[in-house]
């Protein structure tokens, strides 16, 4: 399906660039991996060399080991690898997340990784890049997914915390330690003291250590005095749901924060008190506007609603194909758990 001059080969190990001799977010160990962002389904163990953005470097080292062979460059800076020009461009997904742009003999491919088009208070905002071929995610590739603005979300979350406080309850938010946790911290900043689970705390330290400012937070450890936590804010990875550690939180009101919360049924299915629609991914209009802005001749749709989204793109006159990868929510949930070795006791 793909011609040699189009720069990419879809292999069992991942998306490969034969001209540059490197892979993009491979899921099996390879010699040279260019990494879009730090989530565990994109940044995996076992690569001989890694290349990522400056802002992702500390995250990768924290998660994959300080001893990995890693190189980083700033956003927008071009690095030549075997005649292929490689550069990173903000994806607005999590701290350090990037789209990967490849150019070879005038032909441009952009691999989106995961992205979010709406700006938030913490990650570098998404920038559309013109290209010939665009590889897009499609996690929320259905028209029912439309997000609120960051300001609306802030009001919604903070007023929930205030209501909880009025009822003498401690607000507990669940979200992945990379991305959602920092986003929640930024949304809740100034509301009250924020306590974070150790997995988040350690990651935050790594991020701050590399010179990125984060909102203030304290470590939520198991031996903390209950009185200290009362009526405060806790942020924890989803693995903590139903854990013993959670049971020790005084009068907890729990909230899941995810794009899936858009659907009532998903809220009800979880044993939580609230569900907030907070997503690190592009919503339907975000996906469409991003694809259009690239002016790509050809679009490959990866993880999520790839069948639906590619069918729709073809209907509106954009040549699109499904691309099977090992990225996505399910892989992420599992991989994140394994990467973090989260303590729940």
Q: How many residues bind other proteins (CB under 8 A)?
A: 32
Q: Least Å distance between CB 33 and other proteins?
A: 23
- Strand pairing partners for 49? 32
Contact segment (CB under 8 A) with other proteins among 31-39, 63-71, 74-82, 327-335 equals 327-335
**C-alpha span between 32 and 9 (Å, rounded):** 15
Print the binding letters for residues 303-322 with other proteins: x by CB under 8 A, - otherwise: ----xx--xx--x-------
115: nearest Cα among 226, 280, 237 = 280
| Integer Rg of the chain from CA | 20
Piece of the chain touching other proteins by CB under 8 A; list 62-70, 78-86, 211-219, 260-268: 260-268
Task: Kindly state the smallest distance separating residue 271's Cβ from other proteins, in Å.
Answer: 6
Q: Which is nearer to other proteins, 297 or 330 (CB)?
A: 330
Residue placing its CB nearer to other proteins in the complex, 150 or 189: 150
Contacts 24+ apart (CB under 8 A), 102-106: 102/7, 102/8, 102/17, 102/20, 104/5, 104/7, 104/19, 104/20, 105/5
Tokens 């729940």, located at residue: 344
- In this chain, which of 150, 156, 273, 343 binds other proteins, going by CB under 8 A? 273
Strands 107-111, 98-104: parallel, antiparallel or unpaired by DSSP?
A: antiparallel
Give the separation between CA 166 and CA 183, rounded to whole angstroms.
Answer: 24
Binding to other proteins by residue 144, rule CB under 8 A?
yes
**What residues does 85 pair with on adjacent strands?**
80, 103
In the complex, minimum distance from the CB of residue 242 to other proteins, in angstroms, rounded to a whole number = 10
Stretch that binds other proteins, among 3-11, 63-71, 229-237, 270-278 (CB under 8 A): 270-278
Query: Residue 342 interacts with other proteins (CB under 8 A)?
Result: no
Site string for other proteins, 205-244 (x = CB under 8 A): ---------------------------------x------
Closest CB to other proteins among 66 and 271? 271
When asked if residue 246 is in the footprint of other proteins (CB under 8 A), the reply is no
Binding to other proteins (CB under 8 A) within 283-302 occurs at none
Question: Is residue 171 within a helix (H) or strand (E), and if so which, with residue range?
Answer: strand 170-174
Distance of CA 312 to the CA centre of its chain: 24
Among residues 73 and 263, whose Cβ is nearest to other proteins?
263
Q: How far apart are CA 298 and CA 57, in angstroms?
A: 31
**Distance between CA atoms of residues 93 and 303, nearest Å:** 15
Residues in contact with other proteins by CB under 8 A are 142-146, 238, 256, 258, 260-271, 273-275, 307-308, 311-312, 315, 329-330, 333-334
């Amino acid at each position: 399906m793909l011609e040699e001059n189009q720069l990419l080969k879809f292999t069992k190990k991942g998306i490969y660039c034969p001209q540059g001799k490197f892979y993009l977010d491979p899921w099996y160990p390879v010699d040279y991996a260019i990494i879009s962002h730090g989530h565990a389904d994109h940044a995996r163990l076992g690569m001989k060399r890694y290349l990522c953005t400056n802002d992702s470097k500390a995250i990768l080292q924290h998660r994959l080991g300080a001893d990995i062979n890693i190189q980083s460059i700033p956003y927008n800076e071009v690095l030549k690898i075997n005649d292929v020009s490689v550069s990173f461009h903000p994806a607005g997904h999590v701290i350090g997340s990037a789209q990967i742009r490849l150019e070879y003999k005038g032909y441009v491919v952009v691999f989106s990784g995961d992205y979010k088009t709406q700006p938030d208070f913490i990650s570098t905002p998404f920038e559309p890049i013109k290209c010939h071929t665009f590889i897009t995610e499609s996690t929320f590739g259905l028209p029912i997914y439309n997000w609120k603005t960051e300001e609306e979300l802030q009001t919604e979350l903070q007023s929930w915390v205030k209501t909880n406080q009025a009822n003498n309850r401690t607000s507990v938010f669940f979200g992945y330690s990379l991305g959602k946790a920092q986003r929640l911290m930024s949304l809740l900043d100034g509301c009250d003291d924020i306590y974070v689970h150790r997995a988040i705390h350690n990651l935050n330290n790594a991020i701050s250590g590399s010179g990125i400012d984060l909102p203030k937070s304290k470590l939520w450890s198991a031996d903390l005095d209950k009185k200290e936590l009362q009526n405060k804010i806790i942020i924890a990875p989803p693995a903590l749901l139903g854990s013993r550690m959670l049971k020790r939180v005084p009068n907890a009101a729990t909230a899941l924060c995810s794009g899936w919360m858009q659907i009532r049924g998903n809220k009800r299915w979880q044993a939580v008190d609230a569900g907030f629609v907070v997503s690190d991914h592009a919503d339907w209009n975000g996906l469409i506007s991003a694809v259009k802005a690239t002016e790509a001749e050809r679009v490959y749709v990866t993880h999520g609603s790839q069948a639906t989204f590619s069918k729709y793109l073809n209907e509106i006159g954009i040549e699109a194909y499904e691309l099977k990868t090992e990225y996505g929510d399910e892989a992420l949930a599992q991989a994140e758990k394994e990467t973090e070795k989260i303590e729940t006791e």
